[in-house]
């Protein structure tokens, strides 16, 4: 097996056994990027030099005999909304095209402390707003399984780079499904942790009350490993929760015996791609065979999730993106008459159309006279949706659903109609509104050879149950181990 195809845990073993050096591993990954990225555009910035220097440091650590830190010498890619000191961080936007961050995000810092090699910054929808990666201000990223298709969004580059072995693993962010959807479309494992589990400090904000950083990995064990490194309280993020981080890898093999899995009737809808329904149904049946108990449940407010999400997310976005004004950093329109024109022209030229649409909608719903009707109402719906889940968790331990109603669609297919595009997130959005953890695990392929994802949703801070169930399922299937035809 080529070095670049290694999972984190496989690479860990080989590095510690000195069968491969960290420099060789990083070089293999860099070569792989060089060979394949013209077809995929996963990367916006490749940190070749820095990565090799970090790998050399890792080799020295590995050579000195003591137990190395968990990710020592392991290449990890960062979604371009996650900041790394001295590295360009565009957030997929023209307005930050030349922005070099002067500081590390907390997750970046934790990766570095764990010995990881930051291999580069990967593509995403502009400011993480999108479900297809087509909103990237740069070349949109492609799906490795079919380069005419989208990798899903917004963490498209995170998913495609992992699926195409352009990195061992990546971090993405998930605001309404932005890790889970691309993970499903690209056939990898993706986890959105509980809101507050992972620090948001140093992550370019889209919708602050929904954003969460999570792992995109080749298998469930890697996912647990990576989460273990990035999770935990951060005094720099007031919304990060101060409770101990369990060892997610320690009890990974616990199995699903006696686990009650809830199946929400609202998540198996008309118009779903039949292969998706079948694959997800088979996966649930398999978990039952493994000893889980299947419980029908209801999440009655599901149909209001998308509407509520877009009001809240856009409201927060309209405020979060106000700082990109051309005054202190980032793109600045030239030759403007006055301050008003500076703002208008900078933002008109610097932002893409989807971002502008969301800022406009967000500004509208927060305006005097509309605030109660939209924002306050949406927050009430959000409370009901969270309550639906908490009620459901009285009779089940985790919930299983599809990640998306379809497999990856073609580039351009949904661009003209934002509403259709928004529906891609119909099964993932409620999880963000409720602040719950959600895992996407590969569970099959459709007739075109496109991956299908199973979503497992857990109680707040019960990532462990999701990883255990995902791991148990994964042991009996090779979906995730299959490689795209690149």
Where does this chain bind other proteins (CB under 8 A)? Answer: 81, 83, 89, 91, 96, 99, 101-103, 105, 200-205, 207-209, 235-239, 315-316, 318-319, 321-323, 325, 327-329, 339-340, 343, 363, 366-368, 371, 375
Residue closer to other proteins by CB (options 112, 414) is 112
Q: Of 79, 94, 121, 192, which one is the catalytic site residue?
A: 79
Minimum gap (Å) between residue 234 Cβ and other proteins: 9
Minimum gap (Å) between residue 238 Cβ and other proteins: 5
List the one residue out of 482, 11, 462, 453 whose CA is nearest residue 221: 11
Asked whether the CA dihedral 229, 232, 236, 239 is positive or negative, the reply is positive
Q: Of 26, 42, 178, 240, which one is the catalytic site residue?
A: 178
79 given a catalytic annotation: yes
Residue closer to other proteins by CB (options 15, 313) is 313
Instruction: Please give the Cα distance from 133 to 126 (Å, whole number).
Output: 8
318 given a catalytic annotation: no
Spell out where 12-113 has E strands: 43-46, 75-79
DSSP β-bridge partners for residue 347: none
240 given a catalytic annotation: no
Minimum gap (Å) between residue 84 Cβ and other proteins: 11
Residue closer to other proteins by CB (options 122, 207) is 207
What three-state secondary structure class fits 3?
A: helix
- Phi (first) and psi of residue 196, to 5 degrees: 100, -10
Residue closer to other proteins by CB (options 100, 294) is 100
Residue closer to other proteins by CB (options 369, 485) is 369
Minimum gap (Å) between residue 278 Cβ and other proteins: 39
Long-range contacts of range 350-354, CB-CB < 8 Å, 24 or more positions apart? 350/93, 350/94, 350/95, 350/324, 350/326, 351/93, 351/94, 351/95, 351/126, 351/321, 351/324, 352/93, 352/94, 352/126, 352/135, 352/137, 354/125, 354/126, 354/129, 354/130, 354/135, 354/418
Instruction: Write the DSSP symbol of residue 80.
Output: T
Minimum gap (Å) between residue 160 Cβ and other proteins: 23
Spell out where 326-437 has E strands: 398-402
Residue closer to other proteins by CB (options 324, 409) is 324
Instruction: Write the DSSP symbol of residue 50.
Output: H
- The three-point CA angle 398-382-422 to 5° equals 85
* 275 Cβ neighbours under 8 A, 6+ residues apart: 407, 444, 446, 447, 452
Minimum gap (Å) between residue 459 Cβ and other proteins: 21
Which residue numbers are catalytic?
79, 154, 178
């Amino acid at each position: 097996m080529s070095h670049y195809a290694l999972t984190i845990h496989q690479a860990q073993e080989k590095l510690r056994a000195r069968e491969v050096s960290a420099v060789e591993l990083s070089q293999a990954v860099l070569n792989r990027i060089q060979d394949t990225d013209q077809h995929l555009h996963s990367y916006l910035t490749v940190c070749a030099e820095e990565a090799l220097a970090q790998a050399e440091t890792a080799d020295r650590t590995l050579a000195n005999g003591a137990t190395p830190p968990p990710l020592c010498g392991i290449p990890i890619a960062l979604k371009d909304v996650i900041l790394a000191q001295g590295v360009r961080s565009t957030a997929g936007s023209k307005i930050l095209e030349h922005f070099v961050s002067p500081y590390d995000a907390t997750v970046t810092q934790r990766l570095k402390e764990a010995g990881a090699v930051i291999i580069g910054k990967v593509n995403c929808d502009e400011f993480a707003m999108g479900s297809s990666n087509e909103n990237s201000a740069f070349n949109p990223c492609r799906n490795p399984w079919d380069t005419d298709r989208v990798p899903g969004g917004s963490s498209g580059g995170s998913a495609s780079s992992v699926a195409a072995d352009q990195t061992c693993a990546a971090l993405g962010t998930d605001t309404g499904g932005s890790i889970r959807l691309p993970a499903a479309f690209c056939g990898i494992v993706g986890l959105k942790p509980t809101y507050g589990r992972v620090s948001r400090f140093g992550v370019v904000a889209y919708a602050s009350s929904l954003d969460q950083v999570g792992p995109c990995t080749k298998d469930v064990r890697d996912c647990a490993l990576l989460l273990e490194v990035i999770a935990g309280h951060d005094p720099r993020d007031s919304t990060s929760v101060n409770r101990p981080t369990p060892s997610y890898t320690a009890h990974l093999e616990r199995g699903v015996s006696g686990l009650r899995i809830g199946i929400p009737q609202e998540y198996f809808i008309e118009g779903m791609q039949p292969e998706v329904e079948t694959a997800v149904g088979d996966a649930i049946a398999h978990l039952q065979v493994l000893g889980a108990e299947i419980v029908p449940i209801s999440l009655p407010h599901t149909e209001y999730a998308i509407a509520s999400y877009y009001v809240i997310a856009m409201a927060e976005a309209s405020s979060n993106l106000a700082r990109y004004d051309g005054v202190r950093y980032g793109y600045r329109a030239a030759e403007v008459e006055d301050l008003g024109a500076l703002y208008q022209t900078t933002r008109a030229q610097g932002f893409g159309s989807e971002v502008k649409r969301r800022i406009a909608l967000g500004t509208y719903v927060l305006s005097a006279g509309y605030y109660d009707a939209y924002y306050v109402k949406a927050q009430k719906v959000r409370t009901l949706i969270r309550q639906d889940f908490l009620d459901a968790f009285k009779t089940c331990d985790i919930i299983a659903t599809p990640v998306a109603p379809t497999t990856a669609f073609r580039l351009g297919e949904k661009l003209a109609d934002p509403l259709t595009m928004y529906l891609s997130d119909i099964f993932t959005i409620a999880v963000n509104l409720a602040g719950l953890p959600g895992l996407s695990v590969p569970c099959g392929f459709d007739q075109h050879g496109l991956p299908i994802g199973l979503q497992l949703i857990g109680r707040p801070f019960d990532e462990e149950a999701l990883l255990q169930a995902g791991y148990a399922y994964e042991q009996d299937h090779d979906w995730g181990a299959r490689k795209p035809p690149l």
